[in-house]
Amino acid sequence: MNSDSTSGRSTDKHASRRRLTGWLLVAMLASLLLMSAPLPVSIAAGVTSLVALVLLIVLIVRSIGERRYGMAMIGTLLGVPAMLMVIFGATLNVLFYGPMSELEDCRSTALTEQARVQCESALPDSMAHWVSDLFG
């Protein structure tokens, strides 16, 4: 009897870990897809990455508790920095929404590589002008 309850708990833990990993994968894929979308939509990548980061931390803590140190190390060394980078990128898109929107518009209308380079070279001036307008 005791071995049945032990195997039942083990199966429940495996199913719970699989569900958690599945939701983590969905959140990470959503972040990846949203990050490549145009600007107003790409900001949502920060939200899905925040969800993925929370799920990843829960998975890391559970992995340490189950003595799966390899999984915890991979999640810590690869997953956490990747999600923080996406959150940081989305935050920058929010902070510099005006210049980034102008850059996307310029890139979409540029027909040649030289025109695209001019769009990118105008970005620092646009950001400086936008920040000076913002703070007076």
Instruction: Write the DSSP string, the chain.
Output: -HHHHHHHHHHHHHHHHHHHHHHHHHHHHHHHHHHTS-HHHHTHHHHHHHHHHHHHHHHHHHHHHTT-HHHHHHIIIIIHHHHHHHHHHHHHHHHTHHHHHHHHHHHHH--SHHHHHHHHHHHHHHHHHHHHHHH-
Q: Does the pLDDT at position 1 exceed 50?
A: no
78 band by pLDDT with thresholds 50, 70 and 90: very high
User: pTM of the prediction?
Assistant: 0.76
The larger pLDDT score, comparing residue 2 to residue 9, is at 9
Q: What is the pLDDT of residue 82?
A: 93
